[in-house]
């Protein structure tokens, strides 16, 4: 355990950011470069190969939506990773504060996360623990995936990772069976999208076995039925990511990203926001001081297509509006 103001080489410890099963993360200042960094200190300092696993994986992951590894060092018999410091908050804290996010904001974060995971998969890296706590948001709103401590490299001869390591509410059914594949990360992102839109995960229990059983025996309530502000088209993308059958799930992160980008492009072409009553930035309801203009077309809140005036149901998707 490092203490505040303690020096570790050229790094001055400023605060403790958090701790997990594999290590503790501290906010520190690089006194030579006068910049803030995050130091990740593994718990098991004697396991040389174990400590090097995460930095070796992260060394090849240079992507705008992945927290950057700067270097690794050993000072005063302490091994630590020096990482980019994200001056923002984690997605789970944002969800707890807001309860649920606007569909547009959730879509933006999902696109960033899918981009990061797709890049990792292109390098044969399976994250295995994608969840809101491992998605950090910068001050400008960019989402960055972090914590590759449980990740595995899936070589071409490996069909799956034989592991049950992960966070149960976000683990895919095949992951529970110890057969995690790249599509398992897409399931985890699907659960994350679900939580962003509804404020909760589909199933939760203190017993991980009961969570796994629930996904096998109970239908997941689609997000748009839990939150009427969620467009049905977005809800359908989430539900496809949560297909128990791998053949019905998105086959790749790129396929998921393509659908997410199509949703975003559909919104960009429209002059009305994604969800009824939300402003274009997705940050809250349209205020009386800034009313929507009458020149904006009325759009279906499920498929975003224009609605005829006074139409009760969308002629394109059939949903009532």
Active site residues: 129
3-class secondary-structure state, position 225 = helix
Question: If you ran DSSP here, which 8-state letter would residue 7 be given?
Answer: E
The answer to whether 61 and 120 are in contact (CB under 8 A) is: yes
Determine the Cα–Cα distance for residues 115 and 54; give it in Å rounded to an integer.
20
What's the gap between Cα 83 and its chain centre? Answer: 19
**211 CB-near residues (< 8 Å, 6+ apart):** 168, 169, 171, 203, 204, 205
Long-range contacts made by residues 47-55, C-beta under 8 angstroms, separation at least 24?
48/79, 51/79, 53/149, 54/22, 54/81, 54/148, 54/149, 54/151, 55/81
Please enumerate, as own/partner, the contacts of 168-174 that have beta carbons within 8 Å and a separation of 24 or more.
168/208, 168/211, 168/212, 169/131, 169/201, 169/203, 169/204, 169/211, 170/129, 170/130, 170/131, 170/201, 171/208, 171/211, 171/212, 173/212, 173/215, 173/216, 173/244, 174/246
Do residues 183 and 220 make contact, with C-beta atoms less than 8 angstroms apart? Answer: no
Give the pairing type, strands 7-8 and 11-19. antiparallel
- What gap in Å lies between CA 207 and CA 195, rounded to an integer? 19
The residue among 81, 75, 5 whose CA lies nearest residue 42 is 81
Interhelix angle 253-269/103-122, rounded to 10 degrees, is: 150
Other C-beta atoms closer than 10 Å to the C-beta of 133 total 19
């Amino acid at each position: 355990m490092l203490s505040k103001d303690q020096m570790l080489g050229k790094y001055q410890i400023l605060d403790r950011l958090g701790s997990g099963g594999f290590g503790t993360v501290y906010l520190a200042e690089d006194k030579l470069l006068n910049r803030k960094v995050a130091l990740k200190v593994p718990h098991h300092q004697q396991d040389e190969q174990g400590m090097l696993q995460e930095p070796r994986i992260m060394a090849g992951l240079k992507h705008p939506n992945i927290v950057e590894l700067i270097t690794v060092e050993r000072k005063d018999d302490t091994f630590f990773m020096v990482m980019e410091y994200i001056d923002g908050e984690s997605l789970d804290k944002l969800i707890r504060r807001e309860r649920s996010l606007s569909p547009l904001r959730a879509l933006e974060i999902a696109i960033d996360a899918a981009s990061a995971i797709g890049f990792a998969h292109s390098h044969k890296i399976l994250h295995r623990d994608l969840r809101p706590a491992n998605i950090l948001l910068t001050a400008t709103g960019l989402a960055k995936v972090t914590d590759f401590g449980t990740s595995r490299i899936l070589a071409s001869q490996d069909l799956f990772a034989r592991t049950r390591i992960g966070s149960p509410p976000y683990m895919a059914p095949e992951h529970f069976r110890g057969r995690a594949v790249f599509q398992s990360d897409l399931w985890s992102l699907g659960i994350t999208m679900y939580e962003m839109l509804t404020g909760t995960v589909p199933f939760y229990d203190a017993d991980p076995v009961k969570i796994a059983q629930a996904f096998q025996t109970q239908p997941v309530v689609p997000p748009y039925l839990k939150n009427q502000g969620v467009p049905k088209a977005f809800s359908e993308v989430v539900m496809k990511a949560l297909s128990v059958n791998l053949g019905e799930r998105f086959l790749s992160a790129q396929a998921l990203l393509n659908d997410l980008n199509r949703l975003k492009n559909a919104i960009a072409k429209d002059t009305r926001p994604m969800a009824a009553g939300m402003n274009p930035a997705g940050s809250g309801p349209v205020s009386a001081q800034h009313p929507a203009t009458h020149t904006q077309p009325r759009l279906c809140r499920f498929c975003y297509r224009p609605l005829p005036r006074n139409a009760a149901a969308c002629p394109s998707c059939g949903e009532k509006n």
